[in-house]
A and B are shown apart, each in its own frame.
Chain A
């Protein structure tokens, strides 16, 4: 009774302990969590350790390394044992099992019995121990134990431990696993042929004199496999006509088996390759914390991607057309083949987790609306910029949840109309929109305590710096007694062409025209605090 009580008390203590939880979390990150930063380092370390220990094993066959060998083996095995125990520990929370039993018993007002709970704890741990990878781990340790030295060959199992640490090997296994039905069929067929041929050969060739024939049934099985796999050592050869007929048939069947086997593997990889590639993209997106998703690598998408790449920003592209994805990859961009309307794809790209911006730039408004809508449902915070090819779809995109819309045709209409009316001003607008001139519009934020804070427009000396102040954007609404040049823009107030006595405040955004060099110089002056 007392022991039971102590068990529950310990379980509760573990559940409450922050340190225990933190420690377990740390080891989980180190050993299992595929997203953790430390995991790759640990994996590389373990790979090196495994490879070295196997190398030592091989070297040791012919050479005597003396003390070093034992020492190294001892260190390696200690690490393996610790790793095994840690994995054993983090596989599940035993105290939770006990507590759930206890709380269930409390709930139905029955006395708590420790045995069933402990049995489940053991069962859970046993479940871990019987996992293939756990068995391999164990087999990599056991042969070091002196009385079991004869199992030394099992040290090779350490190589299988590499499964744990490298993704490509596990992907290979996954591919084979998916084709297990075909492989099983092939295996049955192969076993049948081998057995038939071996029996026939054994039947025809045992009687041959001069000690040349097949000595045992095992030898004839060995012969059948060597022949069928087209290896053909030639250490056992048929001497009777009947035996040679059997060989002919076996060779032909063998060719079939080999080609069947090859085609299974090839097709499996062919089917899987696309998925593996996509997986690579997803994991890279996650690893690099890419928060910008661009759907559609058409003309607009290309322009945006090029500019973002010039800014050294990271993004991931999604396009359903293979040619577009290939183009993107040629430029070195991260691109996934697929339809962004597929919400599973968006989810894999982290739309609900790390993504902050989504650009829907496909040429199809229906697709844009659909992508916008599904993305908005998955993430209410994300900023969505969508392309509207037809004017009437702008409102639909807004309704679907787009924060901004960009309408290529509308822009054409706007500048075309401007061109007819005012061809000269058009150049200015076009330059502003396309950013082709070196002169552009720039904004500088007034930081609190900086030289700009509290200064009048007249004292800043825009003119000397070859800058034209265009206006000031201030947080909050416009004052009622504002001058004629104040406009309300989405909760902010834009003061156009502020008067010389306009006083800047912290948080203001000063918008100005100027050559990029002038702006850079101005910013530089601000940083240094000299005006």
Chain B
């Protein structure tokens, strides 16, 4: 059995969807389920999968939880299974990223209480999307084709040590003018995970380790990354 940073528990349609997306981004992934038939089904589709009794902590340790695994996805259709798995995994590794799906807002709270790092509510998101489709179809179309389609990427770029950007306030950056990208905001990783939108009033001073979140075509993002790494002040700040 090979080593993989990310594990998916649950081989249902949701698990397959997530696996497909991850593999599409060149991120190796393993799928586990306690259901033999499901495992056979995803194996036939070409995923790496195995049967695993998730209730046994030793088995979980064997597949790498608490050791090399960084992210697990709890995608069982049954809420109780997800809660149980989240609890077990959290006990094994306090730093593990655990992503769960929830069926309702109440179960979302339970999963958070069990130690999930992120709870995704597919129905909530879908409902909101339908609502957006009704109220402003043009924007949905645009996002669908650009950001979530093939044209534009969302990328996070770390500001390297001793970068010329350090110490500059967020508001003076004019990335949109110098590169064909839109700067959405910045995350001060040391402070919190919250995204500081570049529009919000707080004038954040950039420093090394901050993550810039930008949207743009892949080429431009690569150019920006390159310039940041080489710390080309003339390009980044314009003289």
Contact = CB atoms under 8 A, between A and B. Distances in A.
B17 interface: yes
Classify chain A: how many residues form its interface, as a range: 35 or more
Contacts of B18: 412-413, 416-417
Given A468-B199, A485-B180, A417 B27 contact: yes
A229 to B, nearest CB: 56
Given A411-B129, A413-B17, A489 B123 contact: no
Contact of A485 (B103, B123, B125, B217): B217
Interface stretch (B31-39, B134-142, B229-237): B134-142
Contacts of A431: 195
Interface in A394-417: 404, 406-417
A277 to B, nearest CB: 26
Interface residues of B, number: 78
B27 A513 contact: no
B107 to A, nearest CB: 11
Given A292-B134, A433-B125, A414 B180 contact: no
Contacts of A509: 138
B133 A303 contact: no
B138 A425 contact: no
Interface of A: prevailing SS: mixed
B198 A308 contact: no
Contacts of A410: 17
Contacts of A387: 126, 130
Contacts of B127: 299-304, 306-307, 361
Nearest to A442: B139
Interface stretch (B78-86, B87-95, B148-156): B148-156
A214 B143 CA distance: 92
A424 B156 contact: yes
A412 B15 CA distance: 9
Contacts of B195: 424, 427-428, 431, 437
Contacts of B122: 408-409, 411-412
Interface stretch (A153-161, A332-340, A494-502): A494-502
A416 B126 contact: no
Interface string A201-232: 00000000000000000000000000000000
B20 interface: yes
Interface in A425-455: 425, 427-435, 437, 439, 441-443
B62 interface: no
A515 interface: yes
B47 interface: no
19 contacts: A298-B123, A302-B123, A303-B128, A361-B127, A406-B129, A409-B17, A409-B122, A412-B18, A416-B22, A416-B120, A419-B71, A422-B155, A425-B154, A427-B193, A428-B213, A435-B128, A468-B176, A484-B180, A484-B219
Given A413-B14, A466-B200, A468-B199, 8 more contacts: A302-B123, A408-B122, A411-B122, A439-B200, A442-B139, A467-B199, A484-B217, A484-B219
Interface of B: 5-6, 13-14, 17-18, 20-22, 24-25, 27, 71, 73, 75, 97, 99, 101, 103-104, 118, 120, 122-143, 145-148, 151-152, 154-156, 171, 176-177, 180-185, 187, 189, 193-195, 197-201, 211, 213, 215-217, 219
